[in-house]
Structure 1
């Protein structure tokens, strides 16, 4: 031809480049191998989390469960279940509802989970502080003040999400450039500034939890889960720090799959690091799950009075 004509965005040129073909529409579907694998992993971890919750409820009167604050453990396990389930919102054909729900649900449920870890960490510190002379911390601990961290932190995240939804909420968009011959349906995040505020706030909570847990890591081992909380925050922060550069270097369905993978990996890190040692004692070492054993560990290593 004497003059070339560029195909419209929703079409692409054939091999001979003399005709425009219609692009196919694609997204991260449940029918895809990748989507099916991620969905199966999310459901498996959800069932595992619910099983651990049932185990803790069944053994709620044992020392290993009571010592690490049953109520906070229940809240954390329930929030982790929702963390795993919220990843399913990222799979399937996007629509207006899922575009809004996937980001707000992710922000809120992860805030509840991380703020619960922060509350557990502060509770551990206060529990050992009240054994020192001048027991002012006892009133703070008995009043349940550390537990108020959860609704307070969640309220702040709710406010950020409300600003996000009220100004420039996520919406359905199309990506016509990432893959040749395909139109990828994606969720545009709308206001990137508020999106990064939500992530930044979540990251600051994780950093605060890690800092407090790290400072309490050398407290006596009895009734102390600070080391496990520290390691869980290391895993959580490592996953999301790695996620940011990788996320921005990918396109199309791989970008969505990467986000789902990070949600699952960080949630699994919290579940495994915090609850695996407790489940090990409950199921495999019931002899260590007794007040007598804990008292022996409390007094072991201390110099006996002459």
Structure 2
């Protein structure tokens, strides 16, 4: 550790004097200079790029929500559970905007909000996807539904998954904040001449518990979507859900080793990029195909088209028989 300190030697003196951690030696090694404070700022190119990306995608998600609300009575919107779609879109808007918490000079409030918002928002998003997958499986995989299954469909009981899963995540975050919460950390040894200010996660165990819980929800969503992968093409949301979960796993499996191998502002930028990438996967893989049909192929967004597809599918099946 002592090798990281700067030393200076005054004129007509044989001994060296160590500069404090907040200073560094000049090129002549005869004077200590104040280190500048550094963080992922809005003014620098990386901060500007991440800010613009987050704002653009939040606006794009809001436009998708407007499209879904405007066409709420069309078959494709009804078939994919309007309420859950609205919840997921609203959550994605806040997810994109939450990236702004990581940009700018951190303080105690933003350090705490970063982790609680990250864990809570993605729990809501993943539990919504899980509820949508359960609805799809329940509605189309059960050939002769029992009274309990019919009650689940009519009462929309799968929607209760969202508050239950979110409550569990809030408990985990509450324990995290009560024991070893995130705090502002200063690192004077990462970059020469700079003091990096960033948020320390506090309890690494709690942080990985939050990630582990999110991965378990994603695994459950992927499993339910995989079970309904062979549904008719008219109701192919299960394929979109499974693809989005695959991208989610790829993003966060890649995130962990890269996150732990980087330092300073790059670490913060990597976390923001992972949030943007996983949120974009939900938006692009779940909602963009539906917007394509709603806006560009309205002829496919009709009950008549659905009946024709089902009839042609049955006819082709009878030929093979």
Give the TM interval when normalised to the shorter protein: over 0.9
1:201 deviates by 0.4
Answering whether residue 86 of structure 2 is matched by residue 74 of structure 1, we say yes
Moved more, 219-228 or 242-251: 219-228
For 2:133, the equivalent position in structure 1 comes to 121
**1:69-103, CA deviations, whole angstroms, 9 ceiling, x for partnerless residues?**
00000000000001101110000000111011011
Answering whether residue 26 of structure 2 is matched by residue 14 of structure 1, we say yes
For 2:220, the equivalent position in structure 1 comes to 208
| 1:68–1:224 CA contact under 8 A, matched in 2 | no
1:46 counterpart (50, 58, 73): 58
Measure the CA separation in 1 of the matches of 2:293 and 2:70: 14
For 1:198, the equivalent position in structure 2 comes to 210
| 2:54–2:96 CA contact under 8 A, matched in 1 | yes
Unaligned runs of 5+ in 2: 1-12
For 1:83, the equivalent position in structure 2 comes to 95
For 2:48, the equivalent position in structure 1 comes to 36
Measure the CA separation in 2 of the matches of 1:131 and 1:221: 18
1:216 deviates by 1.2
**1:213-270, CA deviations, whole angstroms, 9 ceiling, x for partnerless residues?**
1121112222231000000111111011101111111110010001001100110011
| 1:213–1:229 CA contact under 8 A, matched in 2 | yes
Measure the CA separation in 1 of the matches of 2:232 and 2:33: 69
The structure with the largest alpha-carbon Rg is 2
- Relative contact order higher in (CA < 8 Å, ≥ 6 apart): 1
Measure the CA separation in 2 of the matches of 1:228 and 1:186: 36
Measure the CA separation in 1 of the matches of 2:84 and 2:74: 16
Measure the CA separation in 2 of the matches of 1:289 and 1:6: 73
For 2:9, the equivalent position in structure 1 comes to none
1:26 deviates by 0.8
Measure the CA separation in 1 of the matches of 2:89 and 2:51: 19
Partner-residue secondary structure (3-state), 1:16: coil
Measure the CA separation in 1 of the matches of 2:178 and 2:297: 52
Partner-residue secondary structure (3-state), 1:92: coil
| 1:130–1:136 CA contact under 8 A, matched in 2 | no
Measure the CA separation in 2 of the matches of 1:227 and 1:263: 22
Measure the CA separation in 2 of the matches of 1:118 and 1:296: 30
1:304 deviates by 4.4
Answering whether residue 229 of structure 2 is matched by residue 217 of structure 1, we say yes
| 1:79–1:112 CA contact under 8 A, matched in 2 | yes
| 1:228–1:274 CA contact under 8 A, matched in 2 | yes
1:272 deviates by 0.2
Moved more, 88-97 or 203-212: 203-212
Answering whether residue 178 of structure 2 is matched by residue 166 of structure 1, we say yes
For 1:143, the equivalent position in structure 2 comes to 155
Moved more, 259-268 or 294-303: 294-303
1:291 counterpart (297, 303, 307): 303
1:17 deviates by 1.6
Answering whether residue 239 of structure 2 is matched by residue 227 of structure 1, we say yes
Q: TM-score, normalised by structure 1?
A: 0.97
Answering whether residue 72 of structure 2 is matched by residue 60 of structure 1, we say yes
Measure the CA separation in 1 of the matches of 2:164 and 2:103: 31
For 1:271, the equivalent position in structure 2 comes to 283
Q: TM-score, normalised by structure 2?
A: 0.92
Answering whether residue 251 of structure 2 is matched by residue 252 of structure 1, we say no
Measure the CA separation in 1 of the matches of 2:147 and 2:230: 21
List 4+ stretches of structure 1 deviating above 6 A.
none
